[in-house]
Amino acid sequence: MSSSSAALRDLQLDLENKANDLSKLQKGKPNRTLVLFIHYLLSKVSIEKQFCYFFPPDIAKNHQVRKKYTIQLGENELVLKELDLLKEDANVYKLIGPVLVKQDLAEANANVRKRIEYISAELYILKVQQRIQSLQAGKAKA
């Protein structure tokens, strides 16, 4: 147990160094939000999640996923706009497989809102990943 916690500590240190490196790289044009965000990550998020941030998959993949999520976000926002325009007693149906199931307007509204929330959060993570990636790429070149 103690050995694993020691390994964990090592990992944490590693990540902290990484974060410091990144904030040093930012010296040219400091970006407070990014630095603050990194420190927030270090204090709040689990080790596994932190790894996702600092050792993200490659840039092309990130771009692809980001594109997908952006499209989904746009679509969901359109749906939400449409749902907001409806009257209280409007009949809303959800397509589940081949059947249409009647759904409460409030429930549908909540669902779409939740989705938008999730997708935005995911997009934010991807954006931060991309920033980190481009910083790392810049460092590798230098």
Partner 1 sequence: MASSRGGGSQQVIRTGDMEKMSLDQLKAVKEQADIEVNLLQDSLNNIRAATGRLENASAALHDLSLRPQGKKMLVPLTASLYVPGTLDDADKVLVDIGTGYFVEKTMAEGKDYCERKINLLKSNFDQLIEVASKKKTLADEAGLILQAKLKQSSPSS
Residue 107 contacts partner 1 per CB under 8 A: no
| Look-up of token digits 């840039």 | 59
Exactly one of 71, 100, 110, 121 binds partner 1 (CB under 8 A); which one? 100
Stretch that binds partner 1, among 13-21, 48-56, 62-70, 78-86 (CB under 8 A): 78-86
Residue 82 near residue 109, CB atoms below 8 Å:
no
Residue 56 near residue 47, CB atoms below 8 Å:
no
Residue 65 contacts partner 1 per CB under 8 A: no
**Conformation bin of residue 89: beta by default, left when phi > 0, alpha when psi is -120 to 50:** alpha
> What is the closest distance, in whole angstroms, from the C-beta atom of residue 78 to partner 1 in the complex?
6
**Nearer CB in complex with partner 1: 57/74:** 74
Residue 47 contacts partner 1 per CB under 8 A: no
Stretch that binds partner 1, among 13-21, 46-54, 61-69, 89-97 (CB under 8 A): 89-97
Residue 126 contacts partner 1 per CB under 8 A: no
CA distance 95 to 122: 25
CA distance 79 to 95: 14
**Conformation bin of residue 60: beta by default, left when phi > 0, alpha when psi is -120 to 50:** alpha
Residue ranges in contact with partner 1 by CB under 8 A = 75-76, 78-79, 82-83, 86, 90-96, 100, 108, 112, 115
